[in-house]
Amino acid sequence: MESRELADRVLTLVKDRDDAALFALFGEGMKTSVPPEKIRDVWARTEVNGKLLGSGEPVVRSQAGGTDLFDYPLKYEKRRQHLQVAVREGLVVGLLERPGDPTGRWNRSRGMLRQLFLPWSR
């Protein structure tokens, strides 16, 4: 599966709240650090944003080490967020949902407003 196709699949699974299928796309580091229960916890925390109304085209950046970053805008009832999906070698190696608009830059999460799936790891 191409990186963009995988990232689009992740977006669909996030919209559908399908934690089991999302978990199956994770690289080993993600699987070890982010069990399905943690994914469900993150989704519960995003409920304060209201219903997810839609998404748009991602900002795409290639990172060092062959990692592609896809940064999708998300529109909720109460605010804008963006979903960052990092893909390397056909697996999801990073996943963050942050407030605001896509930046195309991966930064470690700081603060309570960012819903963190996993900090960037190689």
User: What domains are there in the chain, each with its CATH number?
Assistant: 3-117 (3.10.450.590)
Of all residues in the chain, what percent carry a pLDDT higher than 90?
Answer: 61
pLDDT bucket at 26, cuts 50 / 70 / 90: very high
Q: Is 102 exposed, middle or buried (0-12, 13-18, 19+ CB in 10 A)?
A: buried
Strands (E), 7-119: 52-55, 59-63, 67-76, 80-88, 91-99, 115-118
pLDDT value at residue 43: 84
- 111, pLDDT greater than 80: no
pLDDT tens by residue, 60-85: 999 878 899 999 999 999 999 999 99
